[in-house]
Amino acid sequence: MGRDYYAILGVRRDATPEEIKKAYRRLARDLHPDVNPDPATQERFKDVTQAYEVLSNPEKRRMFDLGADPFAGAGAAGGGFGAGFPFSDIMDAFFGQAQSGRSPRSRARRGRNATVRVELDLAEAAFGTNREVTVNTAVVCQTCSGAGTAQGSEPETCDMCAGRGEVSQVSRTFLGQVMTTRACPQCGGFGTIIRNPCPDCSGDGRVRKSETLAVPIPAGVEDGTHIQLAGEGEVGPGGGPKGDLFVEVVVRPHPIFERRGDDLHCTVTLPMTAAALGTAITVETLDGPEEVDIRPGTQSGQVIPLYEHGTRHLHESGRGDLMIHVTVETPSKLDEEQEDLLKKLAELRGENHPPGKFTPGQQGFFSRLRDAFQGR
């Protein structure tokens, strides 16, 4: 084997393709004839380029690892640059990337997303519903079908960039002549120019219009939930694909229920006697009136659950619960007969005290009466 291409590039024999490429770029940047015109350096540059051409090609590298030089007997000593010379990698070494080969921009682009608000009652959010919403959106222009041109005309090829969508500029630097490309300023990178735009859309390919859409509201949505309707947003410029429509849910406050997750909470107030003796009350729910048993001795602050009477779980089966919070009302004003009855009750329970004889730390009459109902 005449030359060690690994040693020429300064890499290990198990170097990865990326390591080989980085080594070549580093050497090419220092040894290029435009940077260093010394004849000896030019010969070194040719050797480095030839080494990279071998090691960057999997088949040639395999041949070299087996002991054969792919350039042996092929005029390699002359150092000529053949068809395999890596010009693009030299450009990479100096400018970070190869020259642009991009195509002209398409006039058709994706449309913007749109957002609308929908107000719901608690029952609608709990069980789901269907609502119609009206949106002011962009739709395809019917006159030009999104092309943006007037009837009987077509976009013309840009004479500045010849339809490429970009123009090139050559400038002189200390490295020599350098060519750069940029979007064509005349056509904006489209490669074509609309000289006769559609009178209805002014060349945009779309117009504004109010549309009414049916929106399915799933059961269990909460205040602030966003529902995404794919492809129901605005049409893009040039008749491009639609964006998405997002429906923001706003749930109006309910006069009775407070929602916490999928559970509902409400408060009922009971007379002291009903709480002490027990009773049955009718409670409003999202499913209609329900009769609830109040056990004797029910205390203020006690919570009575009604299972499966809350809102439906979003995207799941089942429902939350209705939690009934009990408040026991103590009478603040008593007539003479009521007061006599309560005194008699206190006497029967051994809780009577001479009036005006309470000392600090003693319970008041109604506090002791409450404890009496609790069986304390």
- pTM of the complete model: 0.58
* Count of the separate structural domains present in the chain: 4
The span from the CA of 267 to the CA of 92, in Å, is 74
Q: Among residues 253, 269, 295, which one ends one of the domains?
A: 253
83 versus 308: which is more confidently predicted?
Answer: 308
Residue type, 37: P
1 has pLDDT over 50:
no
Res 174: pLDDT: 60
- Averaged pLDDT, 127-143: 93
The annotation status of 266 as a binding-site residue, yes or no, is no
Q: What is the mean pLDDT of the chain?
A: 82
Tell me what the mean pLDDT of segment 328-352 comes to. 85
82 by Cβ neighbours in 10 Å (0-12 / 13-18 / 19+) ranks as exposed
User: What does the alpha-carbon distance between residue 165 and residue 196 come to, in Å, rounded to a whole number?
Assistant: 19
354/182 Cα distance (integer angstroms) = 102
pLDDT tens by residue, 246-295: 999 999 999 999 999 999 999 999 998 899 999 999 999 999 999 999 99
Instruction: Please tell me the distance from the alpha carbon of residue 113 to that of residue 108, in angstroms, as a whole number.
Output: 16
CB atoms within 10 A of CB 74: 11
Write out the residue range of the structural domain in which residue 355 sits: 336-373
Helix (H) or strand (E) holding 85, with range, is: none
pLDDT tens for each residue of 187-235: 989 999 999 999 999 999 999 999 999 999 999 999 999 999 999 999 9
Show which of 230, 253, 276 is a domain's final residue. Answer: 253
pLDDT digits (tens, 9 = 90+) for 287-306: 999 999 999 999 999 999 99
Whether 29 and 129 map to the same domain: the answer is no
Which pLDDT does position 91 carry in this prediction?
47
Query: Is there a single domain that holds both residue 22 and residue 135?
Result: no
Compute the distance between CA of residue 306 and CA of residue 304 in angstroms, rounded to an integer.
7
Answer whether residue 173 is part of any domain: no
The more confidently predicted of residues 157 and 70 is 157
pLDDT digits (tens, 9 = 90+) for 345-374: 888 878 765 554 444 444 444 444 445 444
For residue 267, the model assigns a pLDDT of 95
DSSP-derived pairing of the beta strands 129-140 and 206-217? antiparallel
Three-state DSSP class for 208? Answer: strand
Q: Specify whether 211 is located in the same domain as 283.
A: no
> H/E element holding 46?
helix 39-55
Same-domain status, 113 and 249: yes
